[in-house]
């Protein structure tokens, strides 16, 4: 009896375990079926969605009103920083220097003295002789002018007396043309006066010429003189000659016409620097004297200078088939950091227009002389013909075709699909390592 009870209990436990095993197997089977369904749906969704054409994303801006500043840009260099060289053509040894760097000097102030060598003395003597000769010629020209004026006045008096006599003038003061035209006496007196007047006027030009010769010869003499003087007032700097330094002959032979000489120092005055740039034949027609400009100097980072156009060369020059036109820009302020021959860039403001419709230049497409813009209206992209005006570096004026507030397309950006190689592995594939793949990027996970 006892054995029967034990056997019944064992059978009951066995049935319980079998029943539990069947339930567990049934649950696992359901989970497996669900996973299979999920994988199938994921694969189908991936194939369907993955084959959809990619929709571009549009970059847009709104049409707005503003101020358009049209500029012309070019590069060049600093041509002057209001520095004048103090030069000498003397040759010998520097005897004494009378100034120091940073000292304020006046025009004609002595800078230094040179003990001339034999060649220097010869050049100086010849220069002085040339000066005396030019001065004598100028004095002679003035004396000759006095004689010519006396001759002119005498001829005029003779002609005037004859012209106002009753023989050649009526009682009311009107000329008797018939008698004057037929009289050799009258014609001769008039010719003598006109000839004398012409000679006197020509002599005035001779006087001007001889004065220039005196000035030139005096400058040549000063260049060869043992004393070196300042040509203008200002602040002296860059003293390149010191006591005991030997000065070589400025040029071969005994030429006294060379006034370039060797630089002894530099004088800087209160003027402002000037920049020279070269414009193309297209841009030069847009620029006029007085236009404002902004200038940057390559060697002075982070600073922008203002100035204005003071000279436009309308003749230009041709190099390698390219025509360029020099333009001079004078800066509004001075700075010690700007030195001659520094590289510079300039933007010349050629026109400013207020309250105009503006869009980025990248939004306009031009073909066959027609400009169009892509706009978004009611969720659709439309092509609109526009009339454009002036441009700046980044914006363009719209004259007609658009209104303020319109949304224009400036560019498109196609989104990546997240798969590699077009029809590759499903992103949900258990063999793919999980995650989307970048397109053409070596398969790196995002």
Q: Is 446 exposed, middle or buried (0-12, 13-18, 19+ CB in 10 A)?
A: exposed
- Is the model more confident about 269 or about 140? 140
Taken in order 284, 288, 292, 295, is the CA torsion positive or negative? Answer: positive
What does the pLDDT look like over 221-277, one tens digit per residue? 988 999 999 988 988 988 988 999 998 864 444 444 444 578 889 888 877 889 999
Work out the pLDDT band at 125, boundaries 50, 70, 90: very high
Work out the pLDDT band at 186, boundaries 50, 70, 90: very high
The tokens for 340 are: 């001659």
pLDDT computed for residue 47 by the predictor: 64
pLDDT computed for residue 20 by the predictor: 56
* Residue 92: φ, ψ to 5°: 155, -145
* Residue 10: φ, ψ to 5°: -65, -40
pTM of the model: 0.52
CA angle 197/202/205 to nearest 5° reads 140
pLDDT computed for residue 16 by the predictor: 62
pLDDT above 60 (res 427): no
The tokens for 396 are: 């363009």
- Is the model more confident about 53 or about 77? 77
Work out the pLDDT band at 442, boundaries 50, 70, 90: very low
pLDDT above 70 (res 332): yes
Counting every residue written for the chain, the total comes to 446
To the nearest 10 degrees (0 to 180), the angle between helices 184-224 and 118-163 is 160
pLDDT above 80 (res 14): no
Give a three-class secondary structure readout of the chain.
CHHHHHHHHHHHHHHHHHHHHHHHHHHHHHHHHHHHHHHHHHHHHHHHHHCCCCCCEEEEEECEEEEEEEEEEEEEEEEECCEEEEEECCCEEEEEECCCCCCEECCCCEEEEEEECHHHHHHHHHHHHHHHHHHHHHHHHHHHHHHHHHHHHHHHHHHHHHHCCCCCECCCCCECHHHHHHCHHHHHHHHHHHHHHHHHHHHHHHHHHHHHHHHHHHHHHHHHCCEEECCCCEEEECCCCCCCCEECCCCCCCCCCCCCCEEEEEEECCCCCEEEEEECCCCHHHCCCCCEEEEEECCCCCCEEEEEEEEECCCCEEECCEEEEEEEEEECCCCCCCCCCCEEEEEEEEEEEEEEEEEEHHHEEEECCEEEEEEEECCEEEEEEEEEEEECCCEEEEEECCCCCCEEEEEEECCCCCCCCCCCCCCCCCCCCCCCECCCCCCCEC
Across 58-85, average pLDDT: 87
* Residue 282: φ, ψ to 5°: -80, -40
pLDDT computed for residue 372 by the predictor: 92
Min mean pLDDT across 82-86, 158-162, 372-376 is at: 82-86
- When the pLDDT of each residue in the chain is averaged and rounded to a whole number, the result is 82
pLDDT computed for residue 392 by the predictor: 82
Across 168-188, average pLDDT: 91
pLDDT computed for residue 140 by the predictor: 95
């Amino acid at each position: 009896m006892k054995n029967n009870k034990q056997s019944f209990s064992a059978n009951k436990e066995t049935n319980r375990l079998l029943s539990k095993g069947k339930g567990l197997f049934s649950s696992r089977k359901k989970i497996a079926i669900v996973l299979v369904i999920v994988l199938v749906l994921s694969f189908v969704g991936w194939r369907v969605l993955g084959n959809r054409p990619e929709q571009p994303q549009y970059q847009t801006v709104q049409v707005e009103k503003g101020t358009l500043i049209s500029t012309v840009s070019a590069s060049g260099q600093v041509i002057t920083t209001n520095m004048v060289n103090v030069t000498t053509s003397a040759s010998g040894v520097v005897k004494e220097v009378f100034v120091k760097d940073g000292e304020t000097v006046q025009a004609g102030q002595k800078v230094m003295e040179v003990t001339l060598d034999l060649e220097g003395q010869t050049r100086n003597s010849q220069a002085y002789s040339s000066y005396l000769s030019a001065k004598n010629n100028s004095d002679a020209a003035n004396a000759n002018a006095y004689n010519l004026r006396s001759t002119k006045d005498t001829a005029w008096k003779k002609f005037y007396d004859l012209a106002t006599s009753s023989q050649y003038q009526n009682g009311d003061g009107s000329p008797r043309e018939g008698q004057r035209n037929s009289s050799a006496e009258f014609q001769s007196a008039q010719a003598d006066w006109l000839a004398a007047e012409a000679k006197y006027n020509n002599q005035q030009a001779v006087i001007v010429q001889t004065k220039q010769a005196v000035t030139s010869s005096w400058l040549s003499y000063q260049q060869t003189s043992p004393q070196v003087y300042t040509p203008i007032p200002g602040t002296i700097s860059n003293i390149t000659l010191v006591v005991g330094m030997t000065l070589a002959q400025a040029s071969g032979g005994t030429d006294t016409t060379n006034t370039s000489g060797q630089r002894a120092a530099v004088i800087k005055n209160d003027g402002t620097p000037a920049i020279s740039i070269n414009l193309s034949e297209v841009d030069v027609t847009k620029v006029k004297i007085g236009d404002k400009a902004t200038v940057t100097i390559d060697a002075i980072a982070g600073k922008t200078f203002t100035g204005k156009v003071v000279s436009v060369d309308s003749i230009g020059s041709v190099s390698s088939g390219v025509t360029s036109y020099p333009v001079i820009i004078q800066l509004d302020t001075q700075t010690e950091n700007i030195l001659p021959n520094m590289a510079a860039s300039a933007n010349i403001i050629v026109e400013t227009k207020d309250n105009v419709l503006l869009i980025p230049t990248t939004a306009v497409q031009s073909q066959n002389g027609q400009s169009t813009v892509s706009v978004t209206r009611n969720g659709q992209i439309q092509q609109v013909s526009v009339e454009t005006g002036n441009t700046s570096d980044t914006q363009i004026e719209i004259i007609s075709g658009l209104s303020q507030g319109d949304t224009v397309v400036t560019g498109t950006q196609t989104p990546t699909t997240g798969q590699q190689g077009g029809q590759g592995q499903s992103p949900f594939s258990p063999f793919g390592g999980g995650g989307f793949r970048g397109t053409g990027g070596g398969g790196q996970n995002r």
